Amino acid sequence: MSGLQDLYQTVIIEESRERRGDGRYADGIWTGHSHQVNPTCGDEITLGVQVDADDRIESIGWQGDGCSISMASASLLTELMQGKTRTEALELIGEFRDIMRSRGQREPSVESFGDAVALGGVSRYVMRVKCAMLSWVALEDALHKSEH
């Protein structure tokens, strides 16, 4: 189990440097966007989503700053949600929220969450849950605003 934890730790560090989707916010034409802050940690994100005519996520872009968990989460989210329908994305966000609130009782599946399973362990640290959730809440809000 500790080998798996080390792997997840590595994924989080790498993704927090990679920051997929970061810097694309300013140039995007978004169907919805959202600004979210996590004052307890100082994390902040502005995220835009572009939903196409078939209700699929065509593009996600964001800008922000914060701890490595919040930035890794935004990067993993951007990767995971590309090409998903609005409904699929909202279901995944709901499932992720349930997992994050489970205090380590629920684990994300690789089938549903891909590399974002690396965030599963965060649910054991109540103080960090908002860090992991920040970009997901921003996408949820942006998707609701994208309703047509």
- In degrees, rounded to 5, the angle at the alpha carbon of residue 113 between the alpha carbons of residues 108 and 115 is 105
Q: Select 44 or 58, whichever has its Cβ closest to Zn ion.
A: 44
Q: What are phi and psi of 19, to 5 degrees?
A: 45, 60
Binding piece for Zn ion, criterion CB under 5 A, among 37-45, 55-63, 82-90, 116-124: 37-45
What mask of x and - would describe binding to Zn ion in positions 38 to 77, judged by CB under 5 A? ---x-x----------------------xx--x-------
Tokens of 109: 């599946």
Question: In the complex, what is the shortest distance from the CB of residue 137 to Zn ion, in angstroms, rounded to a whole number?
Answer: 13
Binding piece for Zn ion, criterion CB under 5 A, among 36-44, 50-58, 90-98, 116-124: 36-44
Tell me, what DSSP letter sits at residue 56? B
Identify the CA nearest to 87 among candidates 28, 146, 7: 146
Q: Applying CB under 5 A, which of residues 74, 80, 131, 138 lies at the interface with Zn ion?
A: 131
Q: Select 28 or 66, whichever has its Cβ closest to Zn ion.
A: 66
Question: In the complex, what is the shortest distance from the CB of residue 59 to Zn ion, in angstroms, rounded to a whole number?
Answer: 25
DSSP string across 106-143: ----HHHHGGGGGGGGGGG-GGGHHHHHHHHHHHHHHH
